[in-house]
């Protein structure tokens, strides 16, 4: 019900989205996705994937909603490599499904 595909390196650039107003770069490998319309609760399902382009980040292991901070209007996500270090990824896709 909301999704975003964005560049996660350098300045964050939204390539395409539905139901997402902005993406904030918090720190390396940490982003906040802000929804155009809040969900009814923060108990929504998320799916996250990364893509690598030429010269991109190697060994991306995990992309997930972070348990550190989330509410019905936004979700924080983390991208980690195989050594469990936070890393920026060239392209990130984030899908959210829940009740509005």
* pLDDT tens per residue, range 20-64: 999 999 999 899 999 999 999 888 888 888 876 555 555 565 666
- The arithmetic mean of pLDDT across residues 74-85, rounded, is 82
The pLDDT assigned to 44 comes to 85
The pLDDT assigned to 6 comes to 95
Q: How confident is the model at residue 66 (pLDDT cuts 50, 70, 90)?
A: low
pLDDT in tens, 81-99: 777 788 888 889 999 998 8
Q: Which residues contact 14 (CB under 8 A, 6 or more apart)?
A: 4, 5, 6, 20, 22, 23
Q: pLDDT: is 84 or 2 the higher one?
A: 2
Q: Which residues contact 19 (CB under 8 A, 6 or more apart)?
A: 1, 2, 3, 35, 36, 37, 96
The pLDDT assigned to 78 comes to 85
């Amino acid at each position: 019900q909301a999704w975003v595909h964005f560049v996660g390196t350098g300045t964050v650039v939204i390539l395409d989205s539905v139901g997402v107003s902005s993406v904030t770069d918090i720190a390396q490998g940490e982003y906040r996705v802000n929804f155009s319309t809040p969900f009814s609760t923060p108990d929504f399902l998320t799916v996250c994937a990364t893509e690598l382009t030429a010269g991109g980040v190697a060994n991306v292991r995990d992309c997930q909603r972070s348990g550190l901070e989330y509410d019905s209007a936004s979700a924080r996500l983390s991208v980690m490599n195989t050594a469990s270090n936070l890393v920026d990824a060239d392209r990130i896709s984030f899908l959210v499904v829940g009740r509005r």
